Chain A
Amino acid sequence: MSGNPTDGGDPIHEPVVRIDSAVKEHRDGRSIIRALNAVSLDVPAGEMVAVTGKSGSGKSTLLNVVGGLEPLTAGSISVLGEPLVALNRTELSRLRRRTIGFVFQNLNLVPSLTAEENVALPLEFDGAKPVEASRAAKVALDKIRIGELATRFPSELSGGEKQRVAIARAIVGERKVILADEPTAALDDLTSRIVMNLLAELSDDGLTVLVATHDSEFAAYADRVVRLKDGSIEHVSSRPVTPSSPAELLT
């Protein structure tokens, strides 16, 4: 896996998301705030990574730069071997429509569209035929196990159901990366668990999931937890691959 992302590399070992010495600075009046300070992180296919830390630690900024929503000040980010810096505006928005799915705290569902139409929307923006987009939307809703909600409007859904529709929209089509920014912030404990379990299942199915959360309890659903402090990685904790027995963890 010594491959250079631009020359194709080994598709199996190439990380889906490669963050290399990422620096992001914001101008705030006369001073410059360094939101990300030399962050490096490789995330392979099928891994779920939680990014945690206090507010202002850089969690959201990290997700935004991986999703190509903001350019880096220095360093580089590649998604599926493609360095984002090399993409023009059109290519970048195509990457965001086809490869990367976003889940936000405020769900951005269109109130006048049904759940299925909301989920189909990114594909229609991308030029898919309505009938194809609709078929893919049904697949995505079924995968999230809310197929029965397809014809409901957002106003007819609970908070947890809306968040699941938003996740279905994020995975619709052939997405490879899910970026979720505080997806549980507006949800109660039980619904938050359902949402985190869903994200974990999606990563088990091969999607690469990056989720920003300030809540350690929900970060713990991830394979790896990256803690940011003042824009730098403070520490990373990985859980063992095989589950421990209750007797190993309890006295």
Chain B
Amino acid sequence: MHILGIVIKNALLALLGNEQKYGYQLKNDFEAATGTAWVLNIGQVYTTLQRLERDGAIVALGQDDDGRSLYELSATGREILSEWLSSAVIRSVSTRDEVTMKVLVASATGVIDPATPISIQRQTAMRVLQEATLARNVAESLADQLHLERLIVLTNAEIRWLDIAEDRLAEAAKARLSDNSSTQEVVDNNNTSITNLGSNS
């Protein structure tokens, strides 16, 4: 099942954890719990509920006068939910990241100083960070605030990565220069340990 499907499925189970609910109630409660950015399609709610009922995770308690179905969590559903909530998500980092590729390609080919894409990306990331900080400070729900905190932390991490990449590439360029140079003095007046690494002749 697609990752979003897994999240929706388990979120609906959790929302049924304490009381019986109708489909439209689940849609509203989902959005209240998870913030304003994720709007659930009611059709998706009903499809998921049908699937959960088929798998024995929930029980349909019949329809009211308006034809709306009331649902209840089953013991199986509680087990599925508990397993989901108590298992860790293993994250991986893709090497197919566009910003990383720009920096690496620029560095390897020399078509442009990699400091240029780094600088442009950092400026944009800084603006996103400013925007996210302002949005977080005025966001009404805790759910929205926590989503924005995550955006802030990840954008800050990107800026840190750009800083580190810039430093590492500059060191590497300096080391290449001193390797090519026969004179030792080039690096002698610079006492950083990193530069000394480059003068290993």
A residues with a Cβ closer than 8 A to B are 52, 54, 197, 216-217, 219-223, 225, 227, 234-240, 243-251
30 intermolecular pairs with C-beta atoms under 8 Å apart: A54-B163, A197-B137, A216-B159, A216-B160, A217-B152, A217-B156, A219-B129, A220-B126, A220-B133, A221-B130, A223-B130, A225-B130, A227-B123, A227-B126, A235-B122, A235-B123, A236-B123, A237-B127, A240-B131, A244-B135, A246-B36, A246-B37, A246-B135, A246-B139, A246-B144, A247-B36, A249-B128, A249-B148, A250-B37, A250-B148
* Main secondary structure on A side of the interface with B: mixed
Given contact pairs A225-B126, A235-B123, A250-B147, A220 touches B132 in the complex (Cβ within 8 A): yes
Of A197, A216, A249, the contact of B151 (CB 8 Å cutoff): A249
Q: Which residues on the B side are within 8 Å of A234 (C-beta)?
A: 119
Collect the chain B residues with CB atoms within 8 Å of residue A235's CB. Answer: 119, 122-123, 126
How long is the Cα–Cα vector from A104 to B134 in the complex, in angstroms?
Answer: 25
Q: Shortest beta-carbon distance, A9 to chain B, in Å?
A: 30
CB pair B152–A237 under 8 Å, yes or no, is: no
Chain A min CB distance to B24 (Å): 21
Q: Are A246 and B35 in contact (CB under 8 A)?
A: yes
Report the minimal beta-carbon distance from A166 to chain B, rounded to whole angstroms. 23
Q: Looking at chain B's contact residues, is the secondary structure mostly helix, strand, loop, or mixed?
A: helix
Q: A245-B36, A246-B139 are in contact. Are A220 and B130 (CB under 8 A)?
A: yes
Q: Can you add 8 more A-B contacts, CB < 8 Å, to A237-B130, A245-B36?
A: A216-B160, A220-B129, A227-B126, A237-B123, A240-B134, A243-B135, A246-B35, A246-B148
Chain B positions 138 through 176: 1 when the CB is less than 8 Å from some CB of chain A, otherwise 0? 110000100110011100100110010000000000000
- Residues of B close to A240: CB separation below 8 A: 131, 134
List chain B residues, Cβ under 8 A from A245: 36, 135
- Number of residues in B with C-beta < 8 Å to the partner? 30
Q: Is the CB of A221 within 8 A of B133?
A: yes
The answer to whether residues A251 and B37 also contact, given A244-B135, A246-B135 and a CB cut-off of 8 A, is: yes
Residues of A within 8 A of B133 (CB): 217, 220-221
CA distance A247 to B139 in the complex (A): 11
Question: Given the complex, which residues of A lie within 8 Å of B123, measured CB to CB?
Answer: 227, 235-237
B contact residues around A249 at 8 Å (CB)? 128, 131-132, 135, 148, 151
Q: Kindly provide the distance from the CB of A107 to the nearest chain B CB, expressed in whole angstroms.
A: 25
| Residues of chain B contacted by A251 (CB below 8 angstroms) | 37
B37 touches A219 (CB 8 A): no
